[in-house]
Amino acid sequence: MKTLKDWTLQGRDGATVTLLTDGGRQLRIAVLDRELIRVSLTGQDGWRLDRSWSVAPDGDVPFEGRSRDDLSGFACPDFDLSDTDRGLVIDTGTLRLQVLRPLQLVWQAKVGDEWRVFAADRTTGAYMAGVRDHAHSHFLRRNPGELVYGLGEKSGDLERSGRRFEMRNLDAMGYDAERTDPLYKHIPVTLTRTPDAGSFSVFYDNLACCWFDLGNELDNYHAPYRAYRAEDGDLDYYMAWSPDLAGLTRRQAWLTGGTAFMPRWALGYSGSTMSYTDAPDAQAQVQGFLDRITEHALPCDSFQMSSGYTSIGPKRYVFNWNTDKFPDIDAMTARFADADLHLIANIKPCMLHDHPRYAEAASAGLFIRDSEADRPEISVFWDDEGSHLDFTNPATIDWWKANVTTQLLEHGIGSTWNDNNEYEIWDRAARCHGFGDPIDVALIRPLQPVLMTRASRDAQAEHAPHLRPYLISRSGAPGIQRYAQTWTGDNRTDWKTLRYNNRMGLGLSMSGIFNIGHDVGGFSGPRPGPELFLRWVQNGIFHPRFTIHSWNDDATVNEPWMYPEILPHIRAALALRGQLIPYLYTLTWQAVQDHQPILRPTVAEFEADPACRAECDEFMLGRDLLVATVIEEGAATRSLYLPDNGSGWWDFHTGTFHTGGQVIEQPVDLGSMPLFVRAGAALPLSRGCARAKPEADTTRRIALFPAPGDFSDRTMLYEDDGVSADALAGNNCRLLIETRADADVIDVTITARGPFRPFWPALDLSLPDAETRPMRVNGQPVTRIAFEDIPHAD
């Protein structure tokens, strides 16, 4: 590769400043907002791939992608451009970018009245570009005191500095959550907290395999640096600045199109296991799940059908029903519909060479093509070989949607689980249709699962346009969250997996992927013992996706009732999940509307508290709940740090008040689920419904957890019918709950907006037993208010 050094100013065109650099390459700098600047490098022939599917400031992109030259959706404010002795200066009023010679970018932000450097390229060769290929590299200085986060789904600690990571989608079954890399997803964004100049993110809009070295590598010829290296594609990155890490997360979620609004039932417990659909009497096994849920009086809202329903022998054949194992598909789905449990079917994008419909797909040209022969590519898949469907081909999209409709939706299975979609095609030049402009698969491997999931979403939406679709995808790239929920793949049963899956999920959340979860109980490996299984369930209830799923080595099944001695504790955990669903659903709406993460690391929520910068096993669920589940075997106590939040914390279970900024030692037993509420919060809860079905949830309580002394706070409760597609267009109810207090009284003001009438008739309000101040609700000394008595603001 060639190091780029020399440059000249070619000109300015609106938001974009263009430099001419070595070898006739162009370096373009586009001011997209006062805190967001894009830097891109093109060769003499222009873009290597002239489209993006990740960047979607308007919420989505066409199936065929968005032109990389398109700046629509961005504010593109005016800025000052000046030429100095040292180079160019671009000044937005918030950011100042210096372009120095030899080629080097230095980034400053205005902090108060002072310009401070928050990021800078390596002085000794910051940019490298391939001469005979399209590999490229970008190097930043690495400075003392920086903390680096992001990169989505990565193993180990949440703070990434000092390590090296690879983006290369793999089916990493049974991975070590502390060490395995790479994993399933391609999320090339880092978020860096500086000691005194705010925080910055760098998002590389490139879907080719790449590496991030964040301080593992040393080179005597360079001062400390961090590196991004890609084997192909375009160097095209977005530099964002924010006073805090939380602002970068919101920006990244917005930049990549936001979050899909899933139906409310997706927040309920979802059953799943590979064992049922692999069994010879699979239909009886799946239907038996309904009987056992009822027998044990456990709440459940959905069931995920693993791919055994498509089997021929031990192998899997998408859209092929094994009618020996499932002799009456419609009767089975009718039973689930009668129980009001939603079915979700596993589908895969690779067709084995002996698939009954392989010739049909091949003759229609639906597969990715071999790089050297006029035939479909052939790759290893599920203990055999097969060909991957090409979702950059409109014919493939149409075929897929038709089969999702006829093979699943018309049988009463309304949702899809898009699985095994890592696209492990190692023929780098295998040809994708590219919507009429062929693309090497190496440029877009992580895009294929995104388009696959989008096609499934479209089929579901077209089949039931009045409903919000629910989908799952295991693999993907930035933008997958526009269509699907995701999870951290086939984890291994181990105590440490609990700890590091939590951090893995927080890494996804900081990177703009909010609707996530883990396989509760562990997917691969030994069956979890009673204590480990219980702790996994107690942890899983605090994640947006709560699914018990397994393929245990000994052919056992992880089920809520698997250990009778802990079943009462399992019931208690599921009941707590049900109690929290109104809060979780409001968080889901805020994630969609305001790009607010559902799960948050304490470092992002309480960045001013130095103690929160250390690795920890606590996390925030929304703004108001600090989750401190027990993740140590045989624990009798749970030591945790209560962040300095300025108001203190209430123990959710005991009503005990604690000041922030201290370590506490909490006694625990098998039933313990330590949970703390931010003082000042008003928490919307269900009184007794453990299902996520809104019609069954006819009680609503606002649990107030006041701060000491004078304080004011406001929160939101979001309600709709849980499923309608027009909810975001206005078919909802939003309650604004404002609390003001002094030494004598707590005043609560509640107003409603929106035409939807909730299924509960009245709001109950409560205070902790230790709170002695009286409460007034809308000026009256009451603890209950009927919905019709709540004033409407519109």
Q: Residue 775 pLDDT > 90, yes or no? A: yes
Tell me the CATH number at 781: 2.60.40.1180
Domain-ending residue, one of 548, 573, 594 = 594
Domain-ending residue, one of 573, 594, 615 = 594
Number of domains in the chain: 4
Tell me the CATH number at 81: 2.60.40.1760
Give a yes or no: residue 497 inside a domain. Answer: yes
pLDDT tens by residue, 652-662: 999 999 999 99
Q: Residue 359 pLDDT > 80, yes or no? A: yes
- Strands 762-766, 700-705: parallel, antiparallel or unpaired by DSSP? parallel
Q: What pLDDT is recorded for position 249?
A: 98
Q: Residue 762 pLDDT > 80, yes or no? A: yes
Q: Residue 690 pLDDT > 80, yes or no? A: no
Give a yes or no: residue 16 inside a domain. Answer: yes
Point out which residues pair with 167 in neighbouring strands: 210
pTM for this prediction: 0.97
pLDDT tens by residue, 552-571: 988 889 999 999 999 999 99
Q: Are residues 499 and 645 in the same domain?
A: no
Percent of the chain residues past pLDDT 90, beyond the cut: 97
Q: Are residues 415 and 479 in the same domain?
A: yes
Give a yes or no: residue 550 inside a domain. Answer: yes
Give a yes or no: residue 160 inside a domain. Answer: no
Q: What pLDDT is recorded for position 709?
A: 96
Q: Provide the domain limits for residue 534.
A: 268-354+392-426+445-594
Rounded CA separation 133/791 (Å): 65
| Mean pLDDT score across all residues of the chain | 97
Q: Are residues 55 and 93 in the same domain?
A: yes
Tell me the CATH number at 544: 3.20.20.80
Give the residue from 737, 743, 669 showing the smallest Cα distance to 700: 737
Provide the residue count of the chain: 794
Q: Are residues 348 and 212 in the same domain?
A: no
Q: How confident is the model at residue 682 (pLDDT cuts 50, 70, 90)?
A: very high
Q: Are residues 222 and 282 in the same domain?
A: no
Q: Are residues 540 and 480 in the same domain?
A: yes
Point out which residues pair with 434 in neighbouring strands: none
Strands laid side by side in the 342-347 sheet: 471-473, 415-418, 342-347, 302-305, 270-273, 545-548, 517-520
Task: Give the burial string for 653-690 (b: 16+ CB within 10 Å, else e).
Answer: eebebeebeeebebebeeebbbbbbbbbbbbbbbeebb
Give a yes or no: residue 135 inside a domain. Answer: yes
Q: Are residues 402 and 526 in the same domain?
A: yes
Give a yes or no: residue 138 inside a domain. Answer: yes
Q: Are residues 215 and 278 in the same domain?
A: no
Q: Are residues 136 and 277 in the same domain?
A: no
Q: Are residues 450 and 482 in the same domain?
A: yes
Q: Are residues 288 and 237 in the same domain?
A: no
Q: Residue 744 pLDDT > 80, yes or no? A: yes
Q: Are residues 470 and 569 in the same domain?
A: yes
Q: How confident is the model at residue 694 (pLDDT cuts 50, 70, 90)?
A: confident
Domain-ending residue, one of 642, 676, 710 = 676
Query: Quick one: residue 102, left, alpha or beta (phi over 0 = left, psi -120 to 50 = alpha)?
Result: beta
Task: Give the burial string for 114-135 (b: 16+ CB within 10 Å, else e).
Answer: eeebbbbbbeebbbbbbeeebb
Give a yes or no: residue 754 inside a domain. Answer: yes
Give a yes or no: residue 154 inside a domain. Answer: no
Q: What pLDDT is recorded for position 555?
A: 85
Q: How confident is the model at residue 687 (pLDDT cuts 50, 70, 90)?
A: confident
CA 753: distance to chain centroid?
Answer: 29
Point out which residues pair with 663 in neighbouring strands: 641
Q: What pLDDT is recorded for position 472?
A: 98
